[in-house]
Amino acid sequence: MSRSGSSFLPTTAAEMQARGWDGLDVLLISGDAYVDHPSFAAAVIGRVLEADGLRVGIVAQPDWTDPKALLAMGRPRLFCGVTAGNLDSMLAAYTAARRKRREDAYSEGGEPGKRPNMATVVYAQLARRAFPDLPVVLGGIEASLRRTVHYDYWQDKLRPSVLLDSKADLLVYGMGERAVLEVARRLAAGRTLEGIPGTARLLGGRESAERDFHEGVLLPSYEECLADKAQLIYLARLTEREQNPFSGKPLVQMHGARALWIEPPAEPLDTAGFDRIYELPFQNAPHPSCRRPVPAFEMIRGSVTVVRGCGGGCTFCGLGFHQGRFLSSRSEASVVREVEAMAGQMDFRGTVTDLGGPTANLYGCVNGISEACRKCKRPSCLHPAVCPNLGIDPKAPVRLMRKVRGIDKVKHLFIQSGIRMELALDNPAYVRELAMHHVSGHLKVAPEHLHPDVVKRMRKPGAAVFEAFRKLFERFSREAGKEQYLVPYFISNFPGSTKEEMKVVERYLRDEQWKLQQVQDFIPLPMTPAAAMYYSGLDYETGKPIPVVRGLAERRAQSDRLKGRKRPRRKDGPRPGSSM
């Protein structure tokens, strides 16, 4: 597989001219360093558009203070696409304690500060200045999770749709391949951008006043949400219920006199479409202009995405609003071809680090096919119990792992993506296969919490499932003659979790003599049900008040206790980190 500079999408005029182009059809602006790999969103969208015959260029992490930073390849013919990158720019920049991060994993050398806060808004406004009257299209996870009114944890305030602040023409939410192709084709043909699944538009005042919205679901307005915190709970519920691409209705949300119109989600890719995208001519490397490693790429360079979408519906996770609840799996043949190509690289050292996606053992599972699925408004296929309409093929992930580890030059294959433990318990053969062949000494699992009220709010299975999975994994590890351990992840400071609820986790860890490697301090991601609970102080299902830990000193105390660290009190004043 060639890695010459000309094989990457162009980033400069010289690279564009090397392809024989005198201009671009589409310019993509990304908050990440340009890594031409299917785990990086801008690369995927660029390759999809390129495969449709379009001339696409990428400007990665431009100087956001100067419109000239976007002019190197000239004015694109069709539109300018904007993404903050693979993470929300605020999450990339700030910790749960609202402190600046020391590293940005998606930047060359891990250097922080290479993208602005609220990068989607800043880049869109920069594109407006650089290319007056050119359509600006937003995409990526930041745009997806900020498409409606949302709570921003780092600014501690409610914000309107990102379309209002960015003044962009269109927002593509979700994975975006289908929608962005339709956008390009319509603009090339001079057609309207109305009615494209997986997109949102902010209508003008006149259109908002004249349009009949009876076919859509009216969400609480920006002004109503500002006036009443409980409206954010109602907003999240209504939005979740309409995320079915087969039966969801359009959503309408007023921002003053202007209406935000959100089309239903785009349908998920089928297996053939999934295969085609991941077999596009990615260079599987950072652009040659990157002189230092990009940490995020180093983490995933040996991994292969095999499944997309997640039916878990965890309330703290944004995947249900971005990748969607309906699943897509690649064919075994496509996965094998990718691993064979990886094994043929000179720098391959024999290890495939992951076969996964949001949830590794959902590979081969099918939903969205039965009529019941196509009408379903449930946010989860797994909670409170596994849905009988979820088509589970227990042999598919086992068969795939066996095929991949049988490939010449593959010495080790590990599974590091998340595992749904309740599904694994119903598939002991999968757990046995993991324990026998695919654990590098430690297997990460995410019970998240053990208190029944908290896990219910999270939509996680709870302590009994975790303990049963632990015993099954330990049994198969003993049978394999291997000393292997689970690495459990817990979340501190989740809405409704105070020090009293956390004691359930502390007791378990103490009784089992378990010292945690990592504790995730809860961060309310925009648009998620958990963010609505955090902001409103209300339970998502009942609407009743729940305790929420907000102060940084209190939050630190809860996470420190889980890590087994008790912060000492000073005799002459408050304990370190507390406010006077």
pLDDT of residue 565: 53
Q: What span, in angstroms and rounded, lies between the C-alpha atoms of 459 and 384?
A: 7
Q: What are the tens digits of pLDDT across the range 29-74?
A: 999 999 999 999 999 999 999 999 999 999 999 999 999 999 999 9
pLDDT of residue 407: 96
% of the chain surpassing 90 pLDDT: 89
Q: Which residues contact 303 (CB under 8 A, 6 or more apart)?
A: 39, 352, 353, 354, 355, 356, 416
Mean pLDDT (the chain) is 93
Domain boundaries for CATH 3.30.750.210 within the chain: 302-440
Q: What span, in angstroms and rounded, lies between the C-alpha atoms of 284 and 16?
A: 20
For the segment 162-191, the average pLDDT, to the nearest whole number, is 97
- Provide the pLDDT confidence category of residue 6 given band limits of 50, 70 and 90: low
pLDDT of residue 512: 86
Please state which of the ranges 81-95, 263-277, 560-574 shows the lowest mean pLDDT.
Answer: 560-574
Which candidate, 532, 380, 352, places its Cα nearest to that of 456? 380
For the segment 275-290, the average pLDDT, to the nearest whole number, is 96
Kind and range of the H or E run holding 300: helix 295-300
Please state which of the ranges 252-256, 377-381, 467-471, 554-558 shows the lowest mean pLDDT.
Answer: 554-558
Domain boundaries for CATH 3.30.750.200 within the chain: 442-580
In 356-451, alpha helices (H):
371-375, 395-405, 421-425, 428-437
pLDDT of residue 556: 85
For the segment 190-201, the average pLDDT, to the nearest whole number, is 97
% of the chain surpassing 70 pLDDT: 96
Q: Name the amino acid, one letter, at 137.
A: V
- Asked if the model's pLDDT at residue 577 lies above 70, the reply is no
- Asked if the model's pLDDT at residue 107 lies above 90, the reply is yes
- Asked if the model's pLDDT at residue 86 lies above 90, the reply is yes
Secondary structure of residue 94 in the 3-state scheme: strand
Query: Quick check: pTM over 0.75?
Result: yes
- Asked if the model's pLDDT at residue 18 lies above 70, the reply is yes
Q: What are the tens digits of pLDDT across the range 292-318?
A: 999 999 999 999 999 999 999 999 999
- Asked if the model's pLDDT at residue 385 lies above 60, the reply is yes
Burial class (CB in 10 A: 0-12, 13-18, 19+), 12: middle
Q: Which fold has domain 442-580?
A: Transcription Regulator spoIIAA (3.30.750)
Q: Cβ distance 316 to 310 under 8 Å?
A: no
pLDDT of residue 241: 96
Q: Cβ distance 316 to 365 under 8 Å?
A: no
pLDDT of residue 578: 27
- Asked if the model's pLDDT at residue 568 lies above 90, the reply is no
Q: Name the amino acid, one letter, at 499.
A: K
- Asked if the model's pLDDT at residue 418 lies above 90, the reply is no
- Provide the pLDDT confidence category of residue 559 given band limits of 50, 70 and 90: confident
Which candidate, 376, 396, 393, places its Cα nearest to that of 241? 376
pLDDT of residue 293: 97
Kind and range of the H or E run holding 254: strand 251-255
Q: What span, in angstroms and rounded, lies between the C-alpha atoms of 327 and 500?
A: 37
pLDDT of residue 518: 74
Q: Cβ distance 526 to 143 under 8 Å?
A: no
> Into which CATH architecture does domain 302-440 fall?
2-Layer Sandwich (3.30)
Q: What span, in angstroms and rounded, lies between the C-alpha atoms of 394 and 364?
A: 8
pLDDT of residue 331: 98
Question: Which residues is 445 bridged to in the sheet?
Answer: 488
Residue 117 phi, psi dihedral angles, 5° rounding: -60, 145
C-beta atoms surrounding 441 within 10 Å: 10
Q: What span, in angstroms and rounded, lies between the C-alpha atoms of 312 and 226?
A: 30
In 190-264, alpha helices (H):
205-210, 222-227, 230-241
- Asked if the model's pLDDT at residue 524 lies above 60, the reply is yes
Q: What are 155's two structure tokens?
A: 């600014």
Degrees, nearest 5: CA angle 213-218-222: 115
